[in-house]
A and B are shown apart, each in its own frame.
Chain A
Amino acid sequence: MVQPAPRPESAGAKVIPIKETSLYEAQRKIYARSVSGTFANWRWAMVWITQAIFYGLCWLPWNGRQAVLFDLVERKFYIFGLVFWPQDVFYLAVLLIISALALFLFTAVAGRLFCGYACPQTVYTEIFMWVEKLFEGDRAARMKLDAAPLTGNKLARKGAKHAVWIVIGLWTGFTFVGYFTPIKTLAGSVLSWQLGPWETFWICFYGFATWGNAGFMREQVCKYMCPYARFQGVMFDPDTLIVTYDAERGEPRGARAKKADHKAAGKGDCVDCGICVQVCPTGIDIRNGLQYECIGCSACIDACDQVMDKMAYPRGLIRYSTEHALAERWGRGQILAHILRPRTLVYGAILSAIVAAAAAGLALRQPLKVDVIRDRTTLAREVEGGLVENVYRLQIMNLAEAPRRFALAVTGLPGVRIASEQIVEVAPAATQAVAVRVRVEPDAGKRGSNPIHFEVRAINHDEVFVREKASFLLP
């Protein structure tokens, strides 16, 4: 460990010993106790929703293909009715910006909502812990089992747990790969044992990552690997909703008999039962104030509310609140009123503007793209009738999911015309390359390069029209 260099003491300054704790130090294993309650129900609802989407969406058909498929081999992304090509990478960038802004907005309003309810790390940990509880029991039983010597019973319990974990992991890996290669084909090759080496590898890789992250790493991923956890601090402000312990009400904490008048004894509402610590998946004590490890899962809220019910004290010793609200004793209405503040309004405004612009861009997107490439082998040549000919290669990309016929035309020079096929048929969501010969009278323009335009229009769909610039060489 690096020793901090001794600092010269200024008069009156207290020397604060700098204690460096290294990351990934030997971890105390966390045995989170299971919890029930309002927020636990919300968490489970989110597990069901996110996983129904993740495991189910890849099986949904659409236009005779997979509804959501990021087809790496064909280099096309299908999202319901939309088909994205590598040329549409702009939309991907916009999507990333939108996600980042949405995360900023949600974080400013309600802290780590995403972490506690929707992050795959949390969701799979939740599922894996449920399996663990099924085979090994709750916190106390698990601690006992781990401390016990290896017996047949222990082996069977642990083995069954891992077997189920591995099955979930592999199914997750299979689903993941199924978003990148058509899942029905993939399922077919799995069933007939003809899975390609790379598909096998990625399914196992992702399955292994799920097993390791949700089974073993758990809170350490949030603590040490997640960048979001580290910079959340800059997104918080005193009006951000966070899970808080009401120290004013709870302290001084201490055990007491249920009937005792604790207020008379000078005690606060916290009975110091430690249940909030036991349920915490990251193993922290929320009573020490907001800590960066807290993923905002609200397990401690549910747990403490149950204790409060038992003691017949009002709920909410641990609750969602804000720094301001705690300090000024605001009620719910005032907290809600402070959701609208400059920071959230600015995030919200930028976010809506970008979403609107992206939606408009998508709606107005031409389902047709044309690339013009000059034939580099022949610059310009003279053909029959004294005309000059240039040859181009047109890449016509039909983004629509129906076959289309396109009419080609050329403008820009007097008398310019196409001497090759002028109707091109392109299959659904496919690219067709055509060689186009363009002819013109030798005196139609100046020597050298003359600007011309190719016009491609879908037959029977006049609104689908693209104009591409090119240059015509005259000798």
Chain B
Amino acid sequence: MQKLIWILWPSFVMAGIAEAVFFTLVDPQELYLFGEPVHMTPLATYSIGFFAFWALCAASSAFSCFLQRSAGAPRV
């Protein structure tokens, strides 16, 4: 539970910031995905974008947690 919060909560905050910065600069209707214009409603693009950022940041947090554990754990 504690690890889960460590991973999900900071990444949630960072995803929020990333989302705000990214979509201030990029109009969701001018986005291209694999060379194709994105045909989703803006709200869907924003939401999926947010979850993509969240997943990415969570992966980074998880990586940090993992490194910390393997370095700090006593070796038997």
Interface residues of A (CB under 8 A from B): 2-3, 22-25, 72-73, 75, 86, 89, 92, 181, 196-199, 201-202, 224-225
- In the bound complex, what is the Cα–Cα distance between A23 and B24 (angstroms)? 36
- In the bound complex, what is the Cα–Cα distance between A2 and B71 (angstroms)? 11
Nearest A residue (CB) for B13 = A227
Nearest A residue (CB) for B44 = A198
Shortest CB-to-CB span from A138 to chain B, Å, is: 29
- In the bound complex, what is the Cα–Cα distance between A73 and B41 (angstroms)? 8
Is B5 positioned at the interface, with any CB of A under 8 Å from its CB? Answer: yes
Residues of B contacting A198 with CB < 8 Å?
41, 43-44, 47
A24 near B43 with CB under 8 A, answer: no
Task: Select which of B25, B43, B72 is within 8 A of A2 by beta carbon.
Answer: B72
B24 near A73 with CB under 8 A, answer: no
Residues of A contacting B25 with CB < 8 Å?
86, 89
Q: How many residues of chain B are within 8 Å of chain A by beta carbon?
A: 17
- In the bound complex, what is the Cα–Cα distance between A225 and B1 (angstroms)? 13
A-B contact pairs, 26 of them (CB 8 A): A2-B72, A3-B74, A23-B2, A24-B5, A25-B2, A72-B23, A72-B42, A72-B46, A73-B41, A73-B42, A75-B27, A86-B24, A86-B27, A89-B24, A89-B25, A196-B43, A197-B44, A198-B41, A198-B43, A198-B47, A199-B43, A201-B47, A202-B47, A224-B5, A225-B5, A225-B9
Residues of B contacting A24 with CB < 8 Å?
1-2, 5
Residues of B contacting A89 with CB < 8 Å?
24-25
Interface residues of B (CB under 8 A from A): 1-2, 5, 9, 23-25, 27, 41-44, 46-47, 72-74
Residues of A contacting B27 with CB < 8 Å?
75, 86
- In the bound complex, what is the Cα–Cα distance between A25 and B3 (angstroms)? 11
Residues of A contacting B2 with CB < 8 Å?
22-25
- In the bound complex, what is the Cα–Cα distance between A75 and B23 (angstroms)? 9
- In the bound complex, what is the Cα–Cα distance between A224 and B47 (angstroms)? 27
Residues of A contacting B1 with CB < 8 Å?
24
Number of A-B contacts (CB under 8 A): 38
Residues of B contacting A199 with CB < 8 Å?
43
- In the bound complex, what is the Cα–Cα distance between A3 and B27 (angstroms)? 52
Shortest CB-to-CB span from B68 to chain A, Å, is: 10
Shortest CB-to-CB span from B58 to chain A, Å, is: 15
Nearest B residue (CB) for A209 = B12
B24 near A92 with CB under 8 A, answer: yes
Nearest A residue (CB) for B3 = A24
Residues of B contacting A225 with CB < 8 Å?
5, 9
Apart from A198-B41, A198-B47, A225-B5, 6 more pairs, CB < 8 Å = A3-B74, A24-B5, A72-B42, A72-B43, A86-B27, A201-B47
- In the bound complex, what is the Cα–Cα distance between A232 and B47 (angstroms)? 33
- In the bound complex, what is the Cα–Cα distance between A316 and B49 (angstroms)? 52
Nearest A residue (CB) for B42 = A73
Residues of A contacting B24 with CB < 8 Å?
86, 89, 92
- In the bound complex, what is the Cα–Cα distance between A441 and B6 (angstroms)? 68
Shortest CB-to-CB span from B8 to chain A, Å, is: 10
- In the bound complex, what is the Cα–Cα distance between A196 and B42 (angstroms)? 12
Residues of B contacting A202 with CB < 8 Å?
47
List of 6 A-B pairs having minimum Cβ-Cβ separation, nearest first: A24-B2, A198-B43, A73-B42, A89-B24, A198-B47, A86-B24
Task: Select which of A2, A201, A224 is within 8 A of B74 by beta carbon.
Answer: A2
Residues of B contacting A197 with CB < 8 Å?
44
Shortest CB-to-CB span from A99 to chain B, Å, is: 14
Task: Select which of B41, B46, B72, B73 is within 8 A of A196 by beta carbon.
Answer: B41
Residues of B contacting A224 with CB < 8 Å?
5
- In the bound complex, what is the Cα–Cα distance between A225 and B2 (angstroms)? 11
Residues of A contacting B44 with CB < 8 Å?
197-198
Nearest B residue (CB) for A205 = B47
- In the bound complex, what is the Cα–Cα distance between A245 and B52 (angstroms)? 48
Residues of A contacting B43 with CB < 8 Å?
72-73, 181, 196, 198-199
- In the bound complex, what is the Cα–Cα distance between A398 and B43 (angstroms)? 25
Shortest CB-to-CB span from B66 to chain A, Å, is: 16
Shortest CB-to-CB span from A463 to chain B, Å, is: 29
Residues of A contacting B5 with CB < 8 Å?
24, 224-225
Shortest CB-to-CB span from A128 to chain B, Å, is: 20
Shortest CB-to-CB span from A200 to chain B, Å, is: 11
- In the bound complex, what is the Cα–Cα distance between A75 and B24 (angstroms)? 8
Residues of A contacting B46 with CB < 8 Å?
72
Shortest CB-to-CB span from B43 to chain A, Å, is: 5
Residues of A contacting B42 with CB < 8 Å?
72-73
**Which of B1, B43, B47, B72 has the largest number of chain A CB atoms within 10 A?**
B43
- In the bound complex, what is the Cα–Cα distance between A293 and B41 (angstroms)? 43
Nearest A residue (CB) for B9 = A225
Shortest CB-to-CB span from A373 to chain B, Å, is: 14
**Which of A2, A25, A198 has the largest number of chain B CB atoms within 10 A?**
A198
